[in-house]
Homo-oligomer: A and B are copies of this chain.
Amino acid sequence: MKQFISSQDAESFQQLIDQALAYKSNPLKDNSLGKGKRMGLLFLNPSMRTRLSTEIAAKNLGMDVIIFNVGQDGWAFEFEDEAIMSGTSVEHVKDAAPILGKYFDVLGIRTFPSLKNKEDDYSELYINQFIKYAGVPVVSLESATLHPLQSLTDLITIQETFKEKRKPKIVLTWAPHVKALPQCVANSFSQWITGWGGADFTIAHPEDYELDTRFTKGASITFNQEEALRNADFVYVKNWSTYSDYGKIYCNDPQWMLTQEKIKLTNHAKIMHCLPVRRNVELSDEILDSKSSIVTQQATNRVWAAQSVLSEILKGI
């Protein structure tokens, strides 16, 4: 694997999933694969699970890991070509990335969307500039529009949990939130679930919260949450801001918060969330504290998803 930015970089979802589960039962089985290799983890915005799980995964493979908090340990990067850098950006990615590519064998990078300019965000300028100039494999630790390590984790967790022969019914439902959030997790989950093809997949959200159709092809889409929840085996709860009129909060209807009452419509669905979650805003305490919730299992699987991806990256170096 040469990079891991979207589901399209995965040759085989199933191989990545199987390998992740093999690492879960034996974390150190390939602990010399990354010997003498160094991974740089660059954070352009904060992170907890991604930061910790990726460092652990890389170390499980024998790599050395160095973390660099851009703009905190260092300074702000410029990403625009031909910029006249008389403002606040101190260093151009064209100058920084090639050096990072000399210092590290693999780069993990977390960028973020502006939520102001859709074209810019969806061009994935930041991470693509790193890829263009670094000269070493780049792994997305979440970018402006996708979060592939999260989605691989989600798929691993679903396969680990659902043991019936039939296809599970999976629902991604929008939830209220107090801030305008990226579409990354929703886009990415949709891209992986539709790409996998192993599920009956429905997305429920209020009007105006349509996602980019590049990622939702193959999904049923509805404004009716109750209808969507009926007979669901998995309910993925997640807020996102508007896509068409970009980055807004149009509706914040608390009726969209998932409750124990609504879950009765499902087939004893397992409840998923990428975390962090705003309790009693996105999801009620009663659900998160119940046996239905598999959010801790999801987060724990982040280590094995990252380890499976890094393993493929290392084999390709």
Contacts and interface: CB of A to CB of B under 8 A. Distances in A.
Interface of A: 28, 36, 38, 40, 43, 46-49, 51-53, 55-56, 59, 64, 66, 68-69, 72-75, 78, 82-87, 90-92, 94-96, 98-100, 102-103, 178, 275-281, 285, 288-289, 295-296, 299-300, 303
22 contacts: A40-B52, A46-B74, A48-B73, A48-B96, A51-B68, A52-B103, A55-B66, A59-B64, A85-B278, A90-B276, A91-B275, A91-B276, A91-B277, A95-B275, A95-B276, A95-B288, A95-B296, A96-B275, A96-B276, A98-B296, A99-B300, A102-B299
Contacts of A95: 275-277, 279, 288, 295-296
Given A56-B66, A95-B276, A275-B95, A51 B73 contact: yes
A87 B279 CA distance: 11
B280 A99 contact: no
Contacts of A99: 49, 275, 296, 299-300
A85 B280 contact: yes
A47 to B, nearest CB: 7
Contacts of A47: 73-74
Contacts of A52: 40, 66, 68, 100, 103
B102 A300 contact: yes
Q: Lowest 3 A-B CB distances belong to which pairs? A: A91-B276, A85-B278, A48-B74
A87 B281 CA distance: 10
Main secondary structure of the interface of A (DSSP, over half): mixed
A56 B37 CA distance: 11
Contacts of A94: 279, 288-289
Given A85-B278, A103-B303, A296-B98, A72 B72 contact: yes
With a 10 A CB-CB cut-off, give which of A75, A82, A87, A276 has the most chain B CB atoms.
Answer: A276
A68 to B, nearest CB: 7
Contacts of A28: 36
A87 B102 CA distance: 43
A98 B90 CA distance: 35
Contact of A103 (B56, B68, B280, B288): B56
A240 B49 CA distance: 36
